[in-house]
Amino acid sequence: MNRRSLFHRLFAVAAAAIFAGAGGLSATINAQSPVVGLQMYSLQEDFDRDTPGTLDRLKSHGIRDVETSVFNKMPAAELRALLDARGMTCSSHHVRPEQLEKNMTAVIADAKKLGAVQVVCPILPHKGALDRAQVLNAAASFNRFGATLKAAGLTFAYHNHAMDFLATDDSGKTFFDLLVESTEPGLVSFQLDVFWVAWGGANASGVIAKHGKRICSLHLKDLARNAKPDINNPKSGRPFMVRLVSGVVDIPRVISTARAVGVSHFIIEDESPGSAAQIPESVQAVLPLIFDGTQKARQQ
């Protein structure tokens, strides 16, 4: 089977996994049928300029699920209508912490309109250097957010950044470890961004193996081999986001480890200047890994 035929076969499997069964998307995620999506921030300017056309382009690449960006300007009902018209879904909704704190009713309403099953906070509220007290304050807030969202039938998750993997003390425990142990398992899950794990000097597969069931989804993106991470300057990371399975993050191992602990939601994100060209290549690189663990992606 040639590469093009393999891609189309896997695309059909992905589509069937997302839409199979009367239970809808929530049921497929809970049943551990893989869902592959794209974080909309990857193409934020394209979405702002032409949302329908951008969705059409994503669908042609094999992406049928999206995750909202905190910068999305389109009303939830309008975005849902565009997705429905294309047989696409939005399973995950990114929301700033201040919105969760002040406008939870609107957050829940938007998530329901979108058809999302999880609400994700992509920022750990803090000022200056991260410290133990600020992490514990965030944990308390996350437990409250999680309880409210759970009562509404939604899952709450936190999306990490590189600073979370700094050590809290000489024991080697990281701020991420502290956040996990200080939040309630039934209320707070974690969306692990494997690029920022690597940028922070940690190993994504090890984090997944350690925290297992607390991780509900992954952000897949890869780190260039020539990168020299500056943990205090996350914006400097964007030029070093490369096509999946071409950088230093062991994406095949990350995916296999995640699947072994029950993670089934994989979201591609690419903030690089070349994201439009890299995304279809990344899709082709990871679909065989996600939907057929026996396939091996080529390092290039």
Domain ranges of the chain: 33-291
End-to-end CA distance of the chain: 21
Nearest to 225 by CA among 151, 277, 289, 300: 300
Closest CA to 62 of 115, 116, 13: 13
The pLDDT of residue 232 is 79
Q: Which CATH class, in words, describes the domain spanning 33-291?
A: alpha beta
Angle between helices 51-61 and 275-291 (to 10 degrees): 40
16: Cα separation from own chain's centroid: 21
CA nearest neighbour of 146 among 182, 196, 171: 182
pLDDT score at 293: 53
Give me 110's structure tokens: 């938007």
CA atoms within 13 A on the CB side of 131: 4
Pairing mode of beta strands 265-268, 35-39 = parallel
pLDDT value of residue 171:
82
Distance CA 107, CA 101 (A): 10
Give dist(CA 227, CA 247) in Å, integer: 10
What is the pLDDT at residue 193?
98
- Least Cα distance to 117 among 155, 151, 70, 65 occurs for 155
Half-sphere exposure of 73 (CA within 13 A, CB side): 8
Is this prediction's pTM over 0.75? Answer: yes
DSSP helix/strand/coil, 92: strand
Residue 48: per-residue pLDDT:
96
CA distances from 111 to 153, 156, 190, 223, 271 (A): 10, 11, 18, 31, 24
CB 74 within 8 A of CB 63: no
pLDDT of residue 140: 98
pLDDT at 242: 97
As a whole number of angstroms, the distance between CA 290 and CA 97 comes to 31
From first to last of its 300 residues, what are the pLDDT tens digits of the chain? 454 444 444 444 444 444 333 333 433 344 458 999 999 999 999 999 999 999 999 999 999 999 999 999 999 999 999 999 999 999 999 999 999 999 999 999 999 999 999 999 999 999 988 999 999 999 999 999 999 999 999 999 999 999 999 999 878 899 999 999 999 999 999 999 999 999 999 999 999 999 999 999 999 999 999 998 988 787 889 999 999 999 999 999 999 999 999 999 999 999 999 999 999 999 999 999 999 753 443 333
